[in-house]
Chains A and B, each alone.
Chain A
Amino acid sequence: MTRSITDSAGAAITVLSMSLAAAQESAVLTVRVPCLAGQFLAADSNPSASVLARRTGSGDAFADLAVAPISLTPFDGQTVEFDLKVSASALTGVRRVAIPVRVTYST
């Protein structure tokens, strides 16, 4: 069966569509990630926004997934919850961006 990132209710998430004012952060969303050794939780780099995440309940600082992908190796075989939020850069005008967030072997 194809694995996927799910929300806290277990529904697969493939698209998150949201609006943000410039230089602001979104609300924190909790997602569940099935983990395998060798994989990372990563995101594409985008000058207009960054995707931040941390393990739920860890108390860690949010990491920019484009700069510092989170290794999923310690959670091999588990489904782990992560806090996810988006931070928009300071800009003028209107920007529409699509940022892929991936569970990947590449970093």
Chain B
Amino acid sequence: MPFLLPIQTFDEPPPVAGVVVGSTELTGELTVTIGARATFAGSTELVGSLSVTLVLAGEVQGSTGLAGSLRLNDEANVFLEGTVSGSTTLEGAAPSLGTFLAGQAAGATELAGELRVKRAEEFGLTIFLDIVGEGMQGESVARYRARLLADGTEVPISSFDLNAPEGALGVSLSVSLAQPDVSLVSNASELQFDLGVWDGSAFEWVTMLAGGKLAGRELTIAFARGGPTDAVTLTLIDTVADRWTFAPEQPETLYDPDQVDEPAPPDSRNLIVNERGAGIEPVSTPVYDLTMREVLRRAYVEGCGFDNVVTNIPDFPVSQVTFSLEGGFHETVKPLLSLFEPLYFAEGNDLWIIDAGAALPAGLQPRGLPLSAVVSVTDTAPARQPLSSLIVAHRSDGRAGGDYFTERIDQESQEAGTFGVQGYTRTETERRVREYRDFDAPETIVREEVASVKVTTRDYQFNVVGRETQTDTFDALGRKGSHKRTVEALVPDLDNDGTLTLQTVSEETYTLLYRAGRSAGSDEIATTINEISGLILVDSGREYLSKPYEIPFVDAHQSGYIDPDGDQSAEFGAIRTVTEMYVREGASSEVRRQVVNHLNGGSVENTTAQTRAGSTAVSRRGQGVVRRKLTLPGAGSGRVVPTFGTGDIPGDMAIALGWRRLATLNSPPRRLSAQLPLVAFDIRRGTPAMPHSRSGVLGTYLVTATRVSGQNLGTQKQLITMSASGKELKA
């Protein structure tokens, strides 16, 4: 959006930088940079016109960049932030420059930029409350009635089984019709199942399943005891259960531009086409500061049609998710949360995703299940896997900095051939790794960098026959800037009768140059330069182009050209420079490669242009991300230590999950199964419950599944029972 902001003229040189006159107040920081020489930071007031006073150390020219975080006061929960850049034209500028002087100018400024609205921080909790009316609270209530309504008309039933299993979104219902007539319920029927409780004067109905559809039926025709015993059993599902299968109309990728590049579109071979042959183009949507909660909202609220997603899983950043036609919304999101082993269920039109391993808030009293309220209780402790430690593989953000670093040496070796016999080689690799830490948490490595790699090869007599050393350097943005690689090899020493000695035969300096990428925070490799110097054999006894012939020493050694008795010498110098330039071409890159040979007078040896698939983009943040493995120590040692992978979850959360995992393996949560004599309407999936043993409280459990069954409905043998199962909540 263009802005036209006239610059105000001052009569006198303004004394302070950053003073702006006006009455509209913007809260935040405004940084003004002109000609890349002056920077101001501070609060700024604006009204109508923008007045900027600048302290300049040179001529005013070039572009102006503004960056700020602005809050809109009139919209309490909205923050405005963004970056604005544009060019400034100064008319009648009089930057009379001394040691320093504020420039005054009248002119027009045009700014074009992109601002985004961001919600202010808001947090809280959700209270999920089951309120049981007066007529349903008694523990001796025993008079129930069940009814099935098909399009509002009651269909008599003789039995039912209402199941809310663990892992399923909704509930399923199986009923046997009192009248074995399959035509009473059709596929199109809107089904509802209610359970009524007699309050002394009438039934109070509680809807247990609404908006159900016929999933299947079974018709049995039989004769027994001299008459027909036909039966019709129907299976119903609620429409909520169907939402796990929802998918977008076209593949959609959400990505955080600050973390990853925009996904490249698929090529024509991988593009899904419709029945008319037209391609179904994927959609890529940039979402700044993309988090797990936002992914849940887009998947389950916008995608699956729920009103809300209620979860106790802590939020964390997500770099990219893709909702595909094949996987749909749920299968895409599920892996993000799998480490928490959450419990999914729907209540009303809200989706609940509950981390069953999270402890209850201190002071919250779970629903009691005294012995008087149960028929039986079974408490099962699964098999333990005693472990003393666990390796947590997690992600660290390499941009996180670190106050200081220490170094560690990683070593490994490989052997080839038979030990002690000629031909045997042993290759030793040594890496020097810098571990960056903060002063306030020195036990945590916030990032690490490989400072150098040294590869040494020894022969069967343990003589060093080769050594390669590479040292990487990184710039301030965390990008690899260059590396220097030195190669030492066993080659003839011309000053010592051609005796094989370890000499530096080549030095390679590899430099990477970047340009701004297509998305914010990303860069692309623009050019790489590989300069190779090394040991050169100069043969004065053989002239080439009126000069002594030159050849890389290693090549001369391998081809048998070296003659220690000849008029040959060795010197160190430039051998070859390889330059590669990457030109963006849609989803591919064209590589223009040039090799300059510096020997024998120098020549351009080869110039080619090739198209390679993929981009050369690198993410500053992504490049800074490293994988870390941290051992959670326990008492004792000497056991195998398994690895617990935590994917892209941030380090602190991963470590907390690791501790929980270690505790769970050593003491798995117990499982509960309880049979209730009555229907407890306030027990559902997600209810914290506290059953009792004969000597006290068994523990606190989270209900994960419930089941209500009724037999011989409408007869004197009618029996309606409820059961619940759960998982122990750890303190």
Contact = CB atoms under 8 A, between A and B. Distances in A.
Partners in one complex: yes
Given A9-B362, A49-B129, A86-B127, A14 B311 contact: yes
B152 to A, nearest CB: 19
Interface stretch (B116-124, B392-400, B512-520, B607-615): B116-124
Interface residues of B, number: 49
B363 A94 contact: no
Interface in B107-133: 120-133
Contacts of A51: 127
A94 B686 contact: no
Contacts of B123: 2-5, 102-103
Contact of A12 (B77, B135, B314): B314
Contacts of B311: 14-15
A48 B133 CA distance: 11
B206 interface: yes
B347 interface: yes
Contact of B315 (A2, A15, A19, A93): A2
B682 interface: yes
Contacts of B241: none
A101 interface: yes
A105 B122 contact: yes
B131 A21 contact: yes
B361 A13 contact: yes
A98 interface: yes
Contacts of A95: 129-131, 133
Contacts of A67: none
A103 B365 CA distance: 24
Contacts of A9: 362
B12 interface: no
A94 B205 CA distance: 9
Contacts of A15: 125-126, 128, 310-312, 354
A99 interface: yes
Interface centre among B120, B205, B363, B688 (most CB of A within 10 A): B363
B137 A21 contact: yes
Interface string B304-331: 0000101111110000000000000000
Contacts of B364: 7, 16, 18, 29
A37 interface: no
Contacts of A27: 363, 365
A107 to B, nearest CB: 8
Nearest to B702: A17
A92 B350 CA distance: 23
Contact of B129 (A8, A88, A103): A88
Interface in B130-189: 130-137
B134 A20 contact: no
A11 interface: yes
Interface string B347-358: 110100010000
Interface centre among B127, B314, B363 (most CB of A within 10 A): B127
Contacts of A30: 362-363
A83 to B, nearest CB: 10
Contact of A14 (B122, B125, B133): B125
A58 interface: no
Interface residues of A, number: 49
A10 B220 CA distance: 60
B362 to A, nearest CB: 4
A49 to B, nearest CB: 5
Contacts of B308: 98
A3 B134 contact: no
A93 B205 contact: yes
Contacts of B37: none
A61 interface: no
Contacts of B310: 15, 98
A101 B137 contact: no
B126 A94 contact: no
A104 interface: yes
A106 B132 contact: no
A94 B122 contact: no
A104 B77 contact: yes
Nearest to B359: A11
A51 B310 CA distance: 18
Contacts of B688: 17
Contacts of B547: none
Nearest to B315: A2
A62 B365 CA distance: 20
Interface centre among A17, A27, A102, A104 (most CB of B within 10 A): A17
A93 B128 CA distance: 17
B545 interface: no
B354 to A, nearest CB: 7
B359 A94 contact: no
Interface string A14-36: 11111111110001111100000
Interface centre among B125, B134, B135, B684 (most CB of A within 10 A): B125
Nearest to A9: B362
A11 B362 contact: yes
A92 B196 CA distance: 12
A34 to B, nearest CB: 9
Given A18-B364, A29-B364, A104-B122, A92 B133 contact: yes
A49 B126 CA distance: 13
Given A20-B131, A92-B135, A93-B204, A98 B126 contact: yes
B131 A103 contact: no
Given A11-B362, A100-B126, A103-B123, A91 B354 contact: no
Nearest to B680: A19
B133 A18 contact: no
Contacts of A48: 129, 131
B76 A106 contact: yes
Contacts of B137: 21-22
Nearest to B352: A15
Contacts of B135: 92-93
Interface string A34-72: 000010000000001101000000000000000000000
Contacts of B136: 93-94
A96 B204 CA distance: 15
Contacts of B347: 96, 98
Nearest to B365: A27
Contacts of A90: 134
B10 interface: no
Contacts of B684: 96
Contacts of A29: 361, 363-364
Given A15-B354, A105-B77, A100 B124 contact: yes
Interface of B: 76-77, 120-137, 199, 204-206, 308, 310-315, 347-348, 350, 354, 359, 361-365, 367, 681-684, 686-688
16 contacts: A16-B361, A17-B128, A17-B686, A18-B130, A20-B132, A49-B131, A90-B134, A94-B132, A94-B133, A94-B682, A95-B129, A95-B131, A96-B684, A101-B126, A104-B77, A105-B76
Given A17-B687, A18-B365, 5 more contacts: A11-B359, A17-B686, A18-B367, A19-B132, A92-B135
User: Sorted from nearest, which 10 A-B pairs have the closest CB atoms?
Assistant: A102-B124, A19-B682, A7-B361, A92-B133, A105-B76, A14-B312, A7-B362, A15-B312, A94-B681, A95-B131
